[in-house]
Structure 1
Amino acid sequence: MQLVVTSSADDNSVTDVTFQILDATTDQPIGAAKVHVRCLSQIDSPTRLKSNPDGIASYVPPSTLAPLRLRITVRATGYHPYHAAIDDAKTLDNLLPIPMRPGRKWQGRVVDSTGSPVADTRVTTTDAADVSVHGYYYTLFDTRTDSEGRFEFDAVADTAKLRLELSHPDFKTQWFTCKGNARQEFVLRQSHALRGRVLDFRGKPVTDATVIADQSNTTVTTDAEGQFDLGMTMAPQSTVVVMADRLSPQMVSITPETESNDLSLRLLPGRTIRFRVSGPDGRPLNNTQVRSIRWQDSTLLRLTGTSDAEGQITIRNAPADLVEYEFRHPEYGVTVAHLQAENKRHEIELPGRHQTPSATNNQNPELANETGIEQLDIDLSVPESRIMHLCAIDGTVLRPLINDVTLRHRYDRQGTPDVSPDGSTVAFDAWSTNGDEWDDARIIVANRDGSNARDIAWGVIPSLSPDGSHIAYSRPTKHAPADGTRGQSIWTMKSDGTDQKMIEDNYAWGARWTADGRSIVFRGGLDDQGRSVSGNCLRVYDLETETTRNAFSPEESPFSSLHFHLNVSRHGRLAVMNGTLHDGTKQMAVVDIDQGISSLRMLQMKFPHISNFFVPVGGVASFSADDAWIASVCRQDGLPVGHALAIDGVRDPRPFPNLPKNLRVLDPTFTPDGKHLIVSFSP
């Protein structure tokens, strides 16, 4: 496409803008192309044009005053759509060659779990703008399926990578990624009921049995008739665990084909498992807490107990097979053991609490001896240091995050990592413990494999766009004089550090890019009247229209203030925030930024059945690949440890069991594919 601007004699005015639509491969004009123009000065009054046989379409702006800021979308039969953001048409007095890429029709089909077509499913996909200031995404296609579940996009380039959102009121909204040269069938999950009855081995109803489903929003207990109702779930498969006093727990998997609205679960007599807990000297330990943490590859089972003065614990509703138990005492180390009910008593010895090692880094064999992990790069003589590492999803340390040792040690206080949704790029902030402060932080960008690490700009809390081409970030007040801003501010730039653009200042903070690439979520800044917006609410900046709105207002916010970090979901438009409630309580909450305050829900923060466990607020609060969990730094026995908190508030926090036990764990972050963690370790 070529764009021509016609100016009047007055250099500060623009009389019209002329487009020429061209084929990218032949450079031939394209007639009958649809040109949709939005002027930001009249964003709600778009103009629709059609190119003539010479590919020409002329746009007359509502005002002749420059700068003229336009949003242009071009669609033509047989060509991939084109979108551009022109922020100063007056400066474009030369041709702007951005041709249309040829494409072909792209078809798909939506079915349910039985293979039946799902009609009237909304199918949308976004794509990066061809030319834009901030690297934002726009709506590429928005259509619905027919009676056979089929849908079609007019033209998609073979090289395009499509990210589809499929929504239907009877199904769970789902997201799929596919290439433009492939046709696919998409399966939507249908809701099904989780209801039933719990009986004992004699066939009598069990009252007050606990029933937990891993995809349900609640934990329920059975009534006098042994009946329970877990509501509706849209998961393709749900795992349900039932527990009752002196009865053996039962686990059952439920699929949409299961008659899940009339389950009958019969519990066998409970097995008794006994423990005696002692310290390294063999003396019994009173007040040792034990809890089940995994059974049959599930964390739903909740067996707990506390040792008496003789160090003895008895649990009478254990299953017959192996269970992974965790033993904790405030004055001793933690022990995890896989045990099953037997006639004999299990002897458990807790180790003494770890002392702070005095070795240097992993170039000294003492570090590997102290931690048992050779892959760590930690200087134990510098307690302020924090080095990012890549870990397996269970916390097993694999390697330092970046390969450049010089850069890694120069900026040895690293935090707030982010990985682009396509998994190609990682970014984090870092500064030196040798005289730097947090507001001296630099943004580091690298390839996912740790290569090509580079220091690109001043700033903190980087957030990568969906394709990793751009970064949203925050700038501390320290840089305001040089930036010409008021206090803290949020910016975007390309991932090489160029094309830096400020979005909002006046103490705007915490910019995070939404998964669809359309918006940036933050707090602070100014409203339309130029008044400061309280830091107790979330704000949403629309990258296409360059307008800002509140996700919920300061007046309706349950928070008196929001803290340093916030984050957004891997799919959809959820945001998680940390803050202080009006009563002074620290709390974490999740909200849909489009549905507002009615969708806000508090995360469960207290788990009295887990000994010495505390969930502070703060940290990256990274969403898991399925958006069901949030990685967070919790505290257990006074030490910061990584756990995943369930968004539904039903399931217990999931530990990352293989994280190092004698190092501080900070900013645990899920990778988008759900296979790894990025964690900062500190002595």
Structure 2
Amino acid sequence: MKRSLPFIAILMAMARLLMAEEAAAEKMRSLTVRVVDQSGAPIPGANVQRSLWTDAKVPPSADAPTDAEGTVTFQIPAKVHVLRLWASHKGRVPMFANFDVQQMGGDPVPKDYTFTLAEGTPIGGFVHDDIGAPIPGARVEVSIDSREHVMDGQGIAVVNRWLAYGKDSCVTDEHGFWALNNVPAGPDWRIGLRLQHPDHVGDVDWRGTGGAPFSLQQFRDQTAISIMQTGVRLTGTITGPDGRPVPKALVIWGDKPYYNSNVQETFTDESGRYRVPPLMPGPTLLTVVAKGHAPVLKEIQLKATPQVEDVQLQPGKTITFRFVDPAGKPVPRTRVYILGWRGKETLFNWKHSNVPYSQIPDVADDQGVYTWTWAPDDAVEYLFEARKSNWRQTPTYGPGEYKITVDDADGL
């Protein structure tokens, strides 16, 4: 199964960060970010966030409010591959800037940087259920896109795509109404919504309309009515080969759960029971991962009524990789990532902010040996990446023992 280049590039970039050597005392430098309004006056209390791709052992992200002069200063490692900055303030248009060493052809970190935050304009709308009743307490995430929103890597400030996201999402009131006041002025913007509510079907993309997309004017007039379907409840019990409940089993629905920030996973309770949020009727995937048991992948058809899907797990198989160099010496700490299984991407072992850790091993030991004792009995597609090397492979293997020669000339 082939992977698109962006997927591989992102995964390999994450791997390089994870595999970075313990750095000695890293020389740091200061980066001062200033936030001003359109007249150039400082904006105190604006939130500034910075994110780093670096080999230095420093926190990858940090945020802080601006002081009375509208400034905040971060300590930045001497060597940075990518620097990203965000600035926001209530009622103002949030901005974003990206600095990429590959695109800029040199050190991407400026000594100082200034964001100008314009006054925002209001938008709003309503969220109803499928019989027309308002839904209070729905979480509404809002994104914006236009031809001007590009991640050019040159540090040019653009409107931040995420106007209301995560903990900063809008929440509907008792009338199902939500509102936001940080949207840039002008007609050339496209608004996307993502809706979530525990009793209704949430969005896995940014449609958030229950039908055709709304115009910007409908949002400005605050007349847009989004529809959330009641959906189908999926529950069940996960048991082991002996029929006993398996607590803390990871249950995943749908495919590619790491591609968006929506929750597509839950864990079984102490009785082995799981409960999935409402889903739309139709085909879906159900994947179960529990340490010590072979993973299970089921294609199920959800009907219009509550559905029970019990799963009995079986013992797993063992797969072992021995990584050696061309001279036969062990290559320690080689990374082993799962890319796909049975044509799907529901099985994963890499640590990602959008998914819980599956507990499937992801690295060889100091002797270059990787062992997974509860693998499925059929083939899995992997990505191998050697520490301190440009060598990578994307092979497919079933259970068994394999010797893998790590050769820099055999990279992707």
Q: Establish whether TM, by shorter chain, passes 0.5.
A: no
Bigger radius of gyration: 1
Normalised TM-score (structure 1) = 0.28
TM-score calculated relative to the size of structure 2: 0.43
